[in-house]
Amino acid sequence: MKCRHCNADVQHVLVDLGVAPPSNAYLSKIALKRPEKYFPLKVFVCESCWLVQAEAYSRAAELFNEEYAYFSSFSTEWLSHAKKYVDQMIERFGLGESSLIGEVAANDGYLLQFVKEKGISCFGIEPTASTATVARQKGLEIVQEFLTVNLANDLRSNRRSVDLLVANNVLAHVPDINDFAQSCQILLNLDGVLTCEFPHLLNLVSQHQFDTIYHEHFSYLSFGTVVNIFAKNGLQVFDVEKLGTHGGSLRVFAQRSDTGSHPIESSVEDLRNEEIGARMHNLDFYRGFQDHAEKVKNDFLEFLIEKKQEGKVVVGYGAAAKGNTLLNFAGVKSDLVKYVVDRSPYKQGKFMPGSRIPIVGEEELKSERPDYVVIFPWNLREEVVKQLQDLALLGTQFVTAIPQLETFP
Ligand SMILES: [Zn+2]
């Protein structure tokens, strides 16, 4: 296998999670009668540029199909994160009525709606029809395509170069990371700013967050690797912030290497040094991850089997990718986790891919009062616990499996 950034031979396996269906391939009742498509879930480390990457087998078009059901607006925490981001960027870069803001993977318009509110022109790039339709209903302009160098050139010649390009939680999802970086460079105005948010590989490895590995993620990124990939594609990183989202993310600020005028902040050197200090440029850093993942899996299974034998009812919360990775790696089915609750009406009535555990609405929890609720999106743990406070008062306990099994309160 060749590295998708530097083309070197890639051999070291970070983790092998077996095979699983794409994590957003929720099943309808009729689909339960048919077999599912399984893909290997194996992640490698390039010892030349340190890009951690999935095997290059699954095609993006197959993963982000029409039924792709992730609607960003269903997380209230995520919405407030987006609103805060918009306010910050407008202030820091002095954006106003004459500015143009673009967003890659605009989803259902969860972020651009706040840009529009401020009276600033904007457009989104979003290949998925279902989410693009919802964004258009909010009055947003959506280019319904994948961002490629060709599309970026077209937009540029149609005067769609931007002052701010938002690419939050998309960098890890693109199969061709070089083409993506180059496309962003093309779309930027002379002084334009690109911001990218992605989960920080440092946290993924050190906190055993193996459930953030799924087919839609092609890359797992360190800061140093992103700086180098951007530099090779005409982009200069000038600032970086640490965020609490997704178990520890980075927000990287970049500009065109040839014309950008934003000064390089000390945060850039600081974070590079932190990664060097953590020995992220050494294979030792990546060794042992498989063992940690297996320990988490075994502890989780032991817990579920024990509770089953005690006659307790265990259910899940959050029908998203993290839960699917954990459930499929552990081989858990509905005999051990009765159902998974999710707020999104697009998922209710469907079944989790692979495990085929039914997805239900929150009202089910209120009538059943289960003994345990496993919170799959551990990064939204506080939000979920607050939401289910009534249940806790009636004696239900909460469980998270990562970084290690924990039952509370
Ligand atoms: Zn490489």
Dist. CA 13–CA 7, nearest whole Å? 17
Residues in the chain: 409
For residue 52, how far is its CA from the centre of ligand 1 (angstroms)?
Answer: 8
Mean pLDDT within 201-225? 93
For residue 207, how far is its CA from the centre of ligand 1 (angstroms)?
Answer: 24
For residue 54, the tally of other CB atoms under 10 A from its CB is 24
DSSP category for residue 350: -
Q: What is the pLDDT of residue 64?
A: 54
For residue 244, how far is its CA from the centre of ligand 1 (angstroms)?
Answer: 28
| Residue 376 Cα distances to 75, 286, 385, 401, 405, angstroms | 14, 24, 12, 8, 12
Mean pLDDT within 245-253? 89
- Is the full-model pTM beyond 0.85? yes
For residue 47, how far is its CA from the centre of ligand 1 (angstroms)?
Answer: 7
Dist. CA 117–CA 299, nearest whole Å? 47
For residue 9, how far is its CA from the centre of ligand 1 (angstroms)?
Answer: 8
Please work out, in degrees rounded to the nearest 5, the angle formed at the alpha carbon of residue 273 by the alpha carbons of 271 and 279.
Answer: 110
Q: What is the pLDDT of residue 67?
A: 53
For residue 46, how far is its CA from the centre of ligand 1 (angstroms)?
Answer: 5
| Assigned token pair, 73 | 């607006």
The predicted-structure confidence for 67-108, as pLDDT tens digits, reads as follows: 555 666 667 778 898 999 999 999 999 999 999 999 999 999
Largest Cα separation within the chain, whole Å, is 66
For residue 38, how far is its CA from the centre of ligand 1 (angstroms)?
Answer: 26
The predicted-structure confidence for 220-237, as pLDDT tens digits, reads as follows: 999 999 999 999 999 999
For residue 219, how far is its CA from the centre of ligand 1 (angstroms)?
Answer: 11
Q: What is the pLDDT of residue 128?
A: 86
Q: What is the pLDDT of residue 41?
A: 92
For residue 245, how far is its CA from the centre of ligand 1 (angstroms)?
Answer: 27
For residue 345, how far is its CA from the centre of ligand 1 (angstroms)?
Answer: 41
What rounded mean pLDDT belongs to the chain?
92
Lowest mean pLDDT among 153-167, 207-221, 264-278: 207-221
3-class SS of residue 143: strand
Dist. CA 409–CA 403, nearest whole Å? 17
For residue 48, how far is its CA from the centre of ligand 1 (angstroms)?
Answer: 5
Tell me if 145 sits within 8 A of 120, measured CB to CB. Answer: no
Give the DSSP letter string of 247-284. GSEEEEEEEETTT--PPPPHHHHHHHHHHHHTTTTSGG
Range ranked top by mean pLDDT from 174-178, 267-271, 342-346 = 267-271
CA 57 to chain centre: 19
| Residue 305 Cα distances to 18, 179, 302, angstroms | 21, 47, 5
State percent of the chain over pLDDT 90.
82
Q: What is the pLDDT of residue 282?
A: 94
For residue 53, how far is its CA from the centre of ligand 1 (angstroms)?
Answer: 9
For residue 280, how far is its CA from the centre of ligand 1 (angstroms)?
Answer: 14
For residue 247, how far is its CA from the centre of ligand 1 (angstroms)?
Answer: 25
pLDDT at residue 176 is higher than 70? yes
For residue 5, how far is its CA from the centre of ligand 1 (angstroms)?
Answer: 5
The predicted-structure confidence for 358-408, as pLDDT tens digits, reads as follows: 999 999 998 889 999 999 999 888 889 999 999 999 999 999 999 999 999
The predicted-structure confidence for 330-357, as pLDDT tens digits, reads as follows: 999 999 999 999 988 889 999 999 999 9
For residue 176, how far is its CA from the centre of ligand 1 (angstroms)?
Answer: 13
pLDDT at residue 304 is higher than 70? yes
Q: What is the pLDDT of residue 57?
A: 59
Q: What is the pLDDT of residue 179?
A: 96
